[in-house]
């Protein structure tokens, strides 16, 4: 009699293994460990047993379906047991050569030369946007159409830059796979041209020269809270927001009037962080005054701008940007936009060489020898630049606003 679901459920394990036959060699093996589907068959005059699943994960209907498929293979002269082993090996090989497996090897290879933040962002990008569509596919099976489909799915969310970033990351993985001998071509190459055109680039917003005096007066009127002082110091030094927010008091030599930002906290690759120069920020009279106001408030902490809930964490960029929001400048001025504001006005002044301005903005020179040379060569000029900039902002905030090029 064929088995029934009820009979299978009610069957109890015994001290000795028992078999419940379903017909055609299919049976349920019952022992103390559980219930297992088995099929006894003969191939090349040898008796063999094929495992077809474990009950209840594999129910009666599924076991019969697998039994039927195995018998069809046997009828075609194929050993079902051997076919199952080959399928397992193929699955293991496919997993080892899947896009995700190769991508993780690529990340491991890149990790020593990348900053931690860049590694985390790239890994998050792959997990969020690339792996869901490409991760489990054998890397050799991925076509250009599939890579483009992945990017278009991201684009459908209304993103413009992210699908291109995802294609660049995928392309790097494919190039890595070419080196491993898994594939011969990069299917992501050129696919960004098939996406919708980019909208015009929107740079970080900043006010115009004409709006600057009003912004400075509003900032002065906001008092001396650490967040406000952070914005003031950022404006006077025009350093990157993250580098300012994580600034430590130990980095400042107030007698020499300099702030030395360790190369490890600067933007760039691990190589630049290890081999590059510390970034020296000459401190103007105005910047020293801001630090003087800040010292009683946070001088007992390691960080200049500790977080409100945890002093070991830094003030957030969002908190600094809210200062501009309270001034009614949301969308018109941002923390990062202070660098653009300084760059624009310093270049328009005609007082300083463009290379001096670029050096103080800490735009990296990739040639290490040239970078070290410029670092020393421009420091006196950078000191003059920072003093000029502090005086300029002070004049702009005053009642008698002076023209840009007249500030000495």
Catalytically annotated residues: 240, 267, 336, 339, 363, 373
Residues 150 and 170: beta-carbon distance below 8 Å:
yes
Output the six-digit token pair for 140: 């050799």
Which helix (DSSP H) or strand (DSSP E) does residue 16 occupy? none
The C-alpha R_g of the chain, in whole angstroms, comes to 33
Per the CB < 8 A criterion, the answer to whether 345 and 401 are in contact is no
**DSSP conformation class of 111:** G
Maximal C-alpha separation, the chain: 106
> Phi and psi of 379, rounded to 5°?
-60, -45
C-alpha distance from residue 117 to each of 246, 276, 364 (Å): 14, 18, 18
State both tokens at 150.
């992945």
Distance between CA atoms of residues 352 and 396, nearest Å: 19
Q: Which helix (H) or strand (E) holds 380?
A: helix 379-397
Q: Which residue has the tokens 């190369």?
A: 263
DSSP one-letter code for 188: T
Q: Tell me how long the chain is.
A: 408
Structure token pair of residue 112: 């020593």
- Cβ atoms of 355 and 378 within 8 Å: the answer is yes
* 258 beta partners: 253, 282
Angle at 371 between CA 367 and CA 374, to 5 degrees: 140
Distance CA 260, CA 165 (A): 33
Structure tokens at 200: 């015009």
């Amino acid at each position: 009699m064929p088995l029934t679901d009820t009979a299978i459920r009610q069957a109890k394990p015994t001290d000795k293994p028992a078999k419940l036959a379903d017909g055609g060699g299919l049976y349920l093996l019952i022992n103390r460990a559980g219930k297992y589907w088995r099929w006894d068959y003969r191939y090349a005059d040898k008796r063999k047993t094929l495992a077809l699943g474990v009950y209840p994960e594999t129910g009666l209907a599924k076991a019969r379906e697998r039994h039927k498929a195995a018998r069809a293979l046997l009828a075609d002269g194929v050993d079902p047991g051997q076919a199952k082993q080959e399928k397992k090996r193929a699955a293991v090989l496919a997993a080892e050569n899947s896009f995700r497996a190769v991508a993780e090897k690529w990340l491991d290879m890149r990790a020593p030369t990348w900053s931690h933040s860049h590694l985390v962002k790239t890994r998050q990008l792959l997990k969020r946007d690339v792996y869901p569509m490409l991760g489990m596919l054998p890397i050799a099976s991925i076509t250009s159409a599939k890579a483009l489909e992945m990017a278009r799915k991201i684009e459908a969310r209304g993103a413009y830059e992210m699908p291109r970033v995802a294609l660049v990351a995928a392309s790097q993985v494919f190039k890595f796979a070419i080196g491993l001998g898994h594939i011969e071509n990069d299917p992501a190459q050129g696919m960004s041209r098939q996406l919708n055109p980019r909208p015009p680039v929107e740079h970080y917003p900043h006010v115009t020269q004409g709006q600057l005096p009003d912004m400075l007066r509003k900032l002065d009127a906001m008092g001396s809270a650490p967040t406000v002082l952070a914005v003031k110091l950022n404006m006077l030094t025009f350093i990157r927001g993250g580098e300012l927010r994580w600034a430590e008091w130990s980095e400042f030599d107030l007698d020499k009037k300099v702030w030395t930002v360790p190369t490890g906290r600067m933007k760039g690759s691990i190589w630049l962080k290890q081999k590059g120069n510390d970034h020296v920020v000459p401190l103007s009279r105005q910047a020293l005054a801001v630090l003087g106001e800040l010292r009683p408030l946070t001088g007992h902490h390691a960080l200049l701008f500790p977080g409100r809930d945890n002093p070991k964490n830094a003030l957030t960029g969002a908190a600094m940007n809210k200062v501009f929001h309270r001034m009614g400048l949301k969308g018109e001025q941002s923390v990062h936009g202070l660098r653009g504001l300084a760059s624009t006005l310093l270049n328009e002044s005609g007082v300083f060489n463009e290379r001096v301005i670029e050096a103080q903005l800490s735009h990296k020179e990739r040639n290490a020898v040239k970078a070290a040379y410029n670092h020393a060569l421009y420091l006196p000029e950078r000191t003059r630049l920072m003093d000029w900039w502090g005086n300029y902002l002070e004049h702009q905030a005053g009642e008698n606003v002076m023209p840009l090029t007249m500030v000495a």
